[in-house]
């Protein structure tokens, strides 16, 4: 198992906790950052622009993605131009469809031809990867973000799909494939093995990186001690039972 720093896949931190973002920005192996309206809401962010500009002050030199939140393509375009104006390392997240299932392809084509760096998000199917790759090819640098974790949530193995997606995206030199929504730390190594360019990892999974390569017997003992200590801290007791002498 290769150390994290030696992996080919780039690790991007995915979250909206400003303190956590600042801490992770000090890690040289964190190559970029992403967020989305759901993560921002969970983190209590109320002012979208203020939060984004604070993040960009903390991270002036690495890619970071912010998402549009309109459901109308014309307004999405306006928001995309606004977000892109915040900095040269900003990628604008555009969902693959709106909430009515209408394709964002024409908007994506318009924005990439205008030189806006895009992160096309919420893809789950291989035909979506092909369609998005077609409209992004030859445009500005862009990411194709496939939610492999959500594919796994349906009971499907995401690895063959992501391997096929990597082959498709590799044909366009301006594109990079993102393994999005990983469910476990092992997915980082899955993404690396199939040639995925980037994996976006939530802060809680990144906090487990100290376990990589750990001796399994040592880890077993730590687990036993955790259970014992938590039982003691909780003050659990069970009344002693008198053994029958009959």
Domains of the chain: 4-234 (3.20.20.70)
Specify the pLDDT at position 244: 66
Specify the pLDDT at position 4: 79
The model's confidence at residue 165, banded by pLDDT at 50, 70 and 90, is very high
Q: Which residue has the higher pLDDT, 101 or 209?
A: 101
Specify the pLDDT at position 210: 86
The rounded distance, in Å, linking the Cα atoms of 164 and 159 is 9
Taking residues 114-118, what's their average pLDDT?
A: 98
Whether the full predicted model's pTM is greater than 0.85, yes or no, is yes
Specify the pLDDT at position 240: 81
* Neighbouring residues of 39: CB distance < 8 A, sequence distance ≥ 6: 14, 15, 16
Specify the pLDDT at position 3: 75
The predicted-structure confidence for 53-73, as pLDDT tens digits, reads as follows: 999 999 999 999 999 999 999
Range list of H helices, the chain: 18-24, 37-42, 48-58, 73-84, 105-113, 126-136, 148-153, 158-169, 186-193, 203-206, 216-234
Cα angle 179-182-185, degrees, rounded to a multiple of 5 = 115
Q: How many residues does the chain have?
A: 246
Does the pLDDT value for residue 204 go beyond 80? Answer: yes
Sign of CA dihedral 99, 175, 86, 27: positive
Is 227:234 a contact under the CB 8 Å cutoff?
A: no
Helices (H) and strands (E) in the chain, counts: 11, 8
The model's confidence at residue 8, banded by pLDDT at 50, 70 and 90, is very high
Does the pLDDT value for residue 245 go beyond 80? Answer: no
The predicted-structure confidence for 13-24, as pLDDT tens digits, reads as follows: 999 999 999 999
The rounded distance, in Å, linking the Cα atoms of 51 and 17 is 10
The predicted-structure confidence for 217-234, as pLDDT tens digits, reads as follows: 999 999 999 999 999 999
Token digits for 16? Answer: 């909206």
The model's confidence at residue 169, banded by pLDDT at 50, 70 and 90, is very high
Taking residues 122-150, what's their average pLDDT?
A: 98
Taking residues 46-55, what's their average pLDDT?
A: 96
Does the pLDDT value for residue 196 go beyond 80? Answer: yes
The rounded distance, in Å, linking the Cα atoms of 6 and 150 is 27
- State the average pLDDT for the chain: 95
Specify the pLDDT at position 5: 75
Token digits for 140? Answer: 């500005």
Beta bridge partners of 177: 144
């Amino acid at each position: 198992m290769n150390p994290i720093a030696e992996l080919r896949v780039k690790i991007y931190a995915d979250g909206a906790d400003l303190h956590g973002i600042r801490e992770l920005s000090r890690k040289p192996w964190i190559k970029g950052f992403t967020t989305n309206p759901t993560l921002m809401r969970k983190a209590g962010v109320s002012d979208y622009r203020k939060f984004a500009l604070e993040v960009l002050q903390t991270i002036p030199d690495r890619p970071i993605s912010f998402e549009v939140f309109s459901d109308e393509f014309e307004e999405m375009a306006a928001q995309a131009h606004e977000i892109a104006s915040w900095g040269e390392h900003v990628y604008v997240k555009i969902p693959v469809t709106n909430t009515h299932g209408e394709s964002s392809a024409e908007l994506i084509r318009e924005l990439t031809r205008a030189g806006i760096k895009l992160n096309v998000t919420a893809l789950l199917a291989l035909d979506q990867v092909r369609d998005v790759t077609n409209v992004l090819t030859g445009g500005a640098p862009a990411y194709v973000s496939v939610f492999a974790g959500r594919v796994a949530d349906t009971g499907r193995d995401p690895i063959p799909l992501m391997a096929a997606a990597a082959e498709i995206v590799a044909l366009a030199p301006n594109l990079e494939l993102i393994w999005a929504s990983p469910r476990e730390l092992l997915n980082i190594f899955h993404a690396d093995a199939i040639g995925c360019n980037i994996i976006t990892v939530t802060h809680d999974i990144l906090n487990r990186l100290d376990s990589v390569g750990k001796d399994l017997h040592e880890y077993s003992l730590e687990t036993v001690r955790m259970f014992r200590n938590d039982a003691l801290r909780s003050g659990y007791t069970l009344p002693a039972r008198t053994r029958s002498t009959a």
